[in-house]
Amino acid sequence: MTTESTAVDRCRNGDCQLVRLLFVTQSGVVRTHAVDASKVESAIEDGVTLSQLVQTYNALGIRDKNGRFDAAGEVRLRPDPGTFRELPYAECTGAMLCDIETVDGEPWTVDPRSSLRAFVRKMEREGLSPEAAFESEFHLFETDDEGTVHRVDERGAYATESTRETHGVILSMIDSLKSQDIPVEKYYPEYAAGKHEIVTGRAAGVRSADEHVLLRETVNAIARDHGYGSTFLPKPFEHSTNGCHIHLSLWDDANRFYTGESGGLSPTARHFIGGVLTHAHALTALTAPTANSYARLRPQLGATGFACWGHGNREALVRVPAVGGSDPATATRIEFRAADCTANPYLALLGILAAGYDGIDREIAPPEPVAVDPATLSDGELEERAVERLPRTLGAALEEFESDRVLREALGDELFETYLQVKRSHWDQFTDSAGAWERDRLRSVY
């Protein structure tokens, strides 16, 4: 039975009445159209019409009127039947992830999901099949009758009391993810009060990004069902951050990052790291894509403020995690730490893969690993070790991104330019509001 007929039959024979067609725009926001279950077969075969304008909305849902698309253009959502899930948190409802095509049925060059797939296939032809896992951090909070926000617990720092206080909602999230065939490997209350992390298992290429989209939807829905608010915002409260650490390895018949020695990295892995560090400043525009992201990307916040790498170093851009002795051939990987959940996961993964592939292609050797917190090094030591500060603002990251030839080639001109315009719109709105704040505050002083 084909995946298409399986999805159609599950709609016909189950309790599913409505199917959400999920996609992620340049803004990183998950968006949807929905069709009645009786229309699923035609949606898979013919697609569902969508305005091109949706791709020009920034994170606030405001259209960039100077963008490359206007009201006349249309494309089609093409549901991927292999991604069909019945949603355990939404009565009588299913979901599918979508590609976006032209009205003639060709891949739309502005679609992040199909662009990632195309790059993955390019790597696979070279015997490099990427597998990834997204570590997703989020906060739970409550809002009282006066509109004041309170984090669900005030303990944090991995306290067992935090697990007891939120056990019901977390267990519902994990059960819901497992029922959608998303493996959950670990959960813990994170460092800050009200902060939690769910770690899912690794998956191949596009599927890993699909599962991250489904996780975001699940966390928000289950939190709401339990009377909580939830947020993936990178800097949601003082003394709190949310990240999205992306774990990566490359495979053929075996893990190409593994040397055969426990804790060792292959030349392929080292060159991949070299490529990521070479393009680090531009990459942040894809992986940390909101103005708020840069309140998190600061030294000594457990995120990263510097372009460097290290074994077990949680202040480095690229961390090489320690692996257990039972199966190092499977577990050897790298972790990219300058990402958060405001990113479009397809574009974030595409950018990291493109940077790493460039490192492999050009055999870029990384500098020596950093074994200390880079913030404790003097300016001279940072320069000697070729450790640079990452961009401090989205505006600075976009400047780096605009001039990065490798990322432009990987995304293609149309996707690259569309993304750049949407994110500049986001940055312009932020700086305009900052200017208004400054005028309002200082007018009463001077």
> Please, is 317 exposed, middle or buried when counting C-beta atoms within 10 Å of its C-beta (0-12, 13-18, 19+)?
buried
What kind and span of H or E run contains 334? Answer: strand 334-336
**The pairing of beta strand 18-24 with beta strand 93-102:** parallel
Q: How far apart are the first and last CA of the chain?
A: 74
Write 1-7 long-range contacts (CB < 8 A, 24+). Answer: 2/81, 3/81, 3/82, 3/84, 4/41, 4/44, 4/81, 6/81, 6/84, 7/40, 7/44, 7/79, 7/81, 7/84, 7/96
Q: What is the DSSP letter of 254?
A: S
Residues forming a β-bridge with 136: 198, 244
Q: What type of residue is 290? A: T
Q: What is the SS3 assignment for 34?
A: strand
For domain 118-424, give the CATH number.
3.30.590.10
Whose CA is closest to 23, among 349, 352, 418, 345? Answer: 345
Same fold, 3-108 and 118-424: no
**Under a CB-based contact definition with an 8 Å cutoff, are residues 324 and 245 in contact?**
no
Whose CA is closest to 366, among 409, 298, 317? Answer: 317
Residues in the chain where the model's pLDDT stays below 70: 1-5, 154-159, 162, 261-263, 437, 442-444
| Whole-number pLDDT of residue 4 | 60
Give domain limits for the chain.
Answer: 3-108, 118-424
| Whole-number pLDDT of residue 55 | 84
Whose CA is closest to 177, among 206, 136, 229, 205? Answer: 136
**Under a CB-based contact definition with an 8 Å cutoff, are residues 336 and 287 in contact?**
yes
**Under a CB-based contact definition with an 8 Å cutoff, are residues 247 and 254 in contact?**
no
Return d(Cα 249, Cα 85) in angstroms, integer: 27
Domain 3-108 has CATH 1.10.10.10: no
| Whole-number pLDDT of residue 132 | 97
- Continuous H helices in 226-304: 267-278, 280-287, 293-296
| Whole-number pLDDT of residue 326 | 76
| Whole-number pLDDT of residue 98 | 97
Whole-model pTM? 0.94
Instruction: Write b or e for each residue in 45-71: b if 16 or more Cβ atoms lie within 10 A of its Cβ, otherwise e.
Output: eebbebebbbbbbbbeeebbeebebee
Return d(Cα 199, Cα 85) in angstroms, integer: 20
Backbone φ and ψ of 235, nearest 5°: -130, 80
| Whole-number pLDDT of residue 263 | 59
* HSE, side-chain direction, 13 A CA sphere, residue 156: 14
| Whole-number pLDDT of residue 157 | 63
